[in-house]
Amino acid sequence: MQGTAGKDVIVTVLVAAVLIWALPLMVGTYTLTVLAIYAMLGLSLGLIWGFGGILCFGQAAFFGLGAYTYAIAAINTGESTLPMILAVIVPCVFAALLGAMMFYGRLGDVYLGVITLVVTLILFKFISSTAGPQYTIGTARLGGYNGIPGFPTLNVPGRPDLFIWGDALYYLCAVALLLVYLGVTWFLRSSFGRIAVGIRENETRMSLIGYDVRARKTVLFAIGAAIAGLAGALFANWGAIVTPGLFSLSQSAEIIIWCIVGGLGTRFGPLLGAAGLGYLKFLLGQQSMINNTMLMGLILVLFVLFLPRGVVPAAISVWRASIGRPRRAGRAGALRRNRRRGRTDG
Amino acid sequence: MAEPVLETQHLTMRFGGVVAVDNVTFTLRRGELRCLIGPNGAGKSTFFKCLTGLLTPSEGHVLMQGEETTGWPPHRVAALGVGIKTQVPNVMDGLSVQENIWLAARRFVPSAQAAAKTREVIDRLALGPIARTELGRLAHGERQQVELGFVAASDPWLVLLDEPAAGMTAGEVARMTEVIHELNRTAAVVIVEHDMQFIRSIASTVTVFHQGAILIEDDVETVMSDPHVRNIYLGKKA
């Protein structure tokens, strides 16, 4: 088991190193940076939804909180190290409180979706209405619809004069994504991760085995928010401005579409979905013939109808059916009661 | 006489105006194996759910090893060392048999020991040939056995089984009986069951539920020959 894990890490690092080196030869690093950030954001939802069964309609809330926390803290401290740490901690704590309220309140999946969506919209409305000069935190003005521009972007820790931007920011974001991916892989191999998957499969049974489902879902939800917060902080650095649009409904919906298209229950699926659709959005942004949002909606409808498990699980199934090992059938014949919900090892 | 490991005192469960469990006082002693029987709607499963924490009783108390567990959530009840099997197989369909049982074992032992415990339970229940098969692909009887595997993996001192033999083949029931007897060496067992043949093969003492209350509690042969029990079970005068 440990040997396999070590091999997986080496393969992942090698493949990532090749991609990090090769992709800038084809696509600009400015675009690749935001794609890496989107991939991290997709992975954050992919973790809690695909492996924990928590469908959060408000992952954008944690993304936006991370971005705003970074911007506000950077203006107040004049450097980026502490703001980066706060950008992970603040969404994590916020999600822990929100999650505890929802999971200990025994809310069903539908209500959980509604509450996370509403929280995102509340944040959007609130931040949008902070244009007045009275809305300041320390020396940072929240700026309402105009957002917060002009905050110090990433610098080398301890060297506020040495900024990380351009190609360096791309490499930083790509390495951060790789580290998050490896962290998620480690987490899913750990007891906590395996138990989270068990909870996704059957909460009642896991509770009857003796696991406190509420506490574990709260922790998983907070971990997903921490990753989204990190992505938000990197996004703030990429754009050098944060606006209420980060909390928007369309941003929340996009993250869900990334996960569905890429494939739930896989680590690589949401990452691929986010980067792939993010790049498509970038390409479509260069023309005005096709409406971007409409195309996203169409892609979602097509995937739900024809490839509901997403790209990565479908590709794995095709591979297994052609050259891979077929799954073993049950002793008494394959009585397939419930289709598995797209879980594979991708 | 052995000390009680499970007691209920005046346990009552109401759903609106319907009294599903009516003032039930029940005692199970260490090492005992007790079957709860009764016709449909007698209140057995509701009583069972009050024990496991799946329902919070309207009135009365549940005590396990003398500790008040009334209204505890299921995970707290299970964490005491209570093995629970529900009426409908309640398993993780997308995971393999091995992974399912590992999850149960891991709750009570560290990760390294959980793997060994999982292998032991798989061998004990003869689940080796299907160890890597997803639960969603298995037949009903196999799923029931895996659920019993959850119970076995937790090394319980109290086992609560709701209709463990339902939908199983004769061979599977025989193996199930063996495993239950094995569990009973170290744990007190409560079984809610309909299958009279299975009850005769496994239990010495039976508690009969009728209209939410305990009608009679005695050894299996006495209960089976009781005219009142025959009447409510077969729906005719004895």
pLDDT digit string (tens) for A277-314?
A: 999 988 888 777 888 888 888 998 999 999 999 999 99
pLDDT band, residue A330 (cuts 50/70/90): very low
Of these ranges, A10-19, B36-45, B170-179, the one predicted with the greatest mean pLDDT is A10-19
pLDDT of residue B52 exceeding 90: yes
Quick check: B49 and B26 in contact, CB under 8 A?
Answer: no
Q: Which residue range forms the structural domain that includes residue A216?
A: 2-322
More confident residue, B115 or A109: B115
CA A230 to CA A181: how far, in whole Å? Answer: 13
**B-contacting residues of A 189-228, CB under 8 Å?**
191, 194-195, 197-198, 200-202, 204-213
B116 chain-A contacts, CB cut-off 8 A: none
Q: Does the pLDDT at position B109 exceed 50? A: yes
Domain presence at residue A193: yes
ipTM: 0.90
Task: State the pLDDT at residue A2.
Answer: 59
Question: And the tokens for A19?
Answer: 């991609």
- Taking a C-beta distance cutoff of 8 angstroms, is the pair A12, A4 a contact? no
Q: Does A342 score more than 50 pLDDT?
A: no
pLDDT at A340: 41
pLDDT in the model for residue B31: 92
CB within 8 Å: B139 and A339: no
User: How many structural domains compose chain B?
Assistant: 1
**pLDDT given at position B59:** 95
Number of domains in chain A: 1
Q: Does A325 touch chain B (CB under 8 A)?
A: no
> Is A328 a domain residue?
no
Nearest to B92 among A198, A327, A330 (CB): A198
How confident is the model at residue B238, as a pLDDT?
Answer: 41
Is A340 contained in some domain? Answer: no
Q: Tell me, what's the pLDDT at B229? A: 83
User: Minimal Cα–Cα distance from B28 to chain A, Å?
Assistant: 20
Q: For the CA atoms of chain B, what is the radius of gyration?
A: 18
- Write out the two tokens for B93: 């369909």
> Does any CB of chain B come closer than 8 Å to the CB of residue A106?
no
The pLDDT mean for chain A works out to 90
Q: Pairing mode, if any, of strands A140-141 and A136-137? A: antiparallel
Coil/strand/helix, residue B10: strand
pLDDT attached to residue B197: 81
Domain of B86 in residue numbering reads as 4-234
Torsion of Cα atoms, B146 then A208 then A210 then B3, to 10°:
-100
A118 domain residue, yes or no: yes
In B, which residues are within 8 Å of A210 by CB distance?
75, 78-79, 107-108, 154
The CATH number linked to B61 is 3.40.50.300
In the predicted model, is pLDDT for residue A337 greater than 80? no
pLDDT surpasses 60 at A339: no
B92, B107, B134 member nearest A202 (Cβ): B92
Structural domain contains residue A334: no
Cα gap A343→A68, rounded to integer Å: 34
With H, G, I as helix, E, B as strand and everything else as coil, classify residue A247: helix
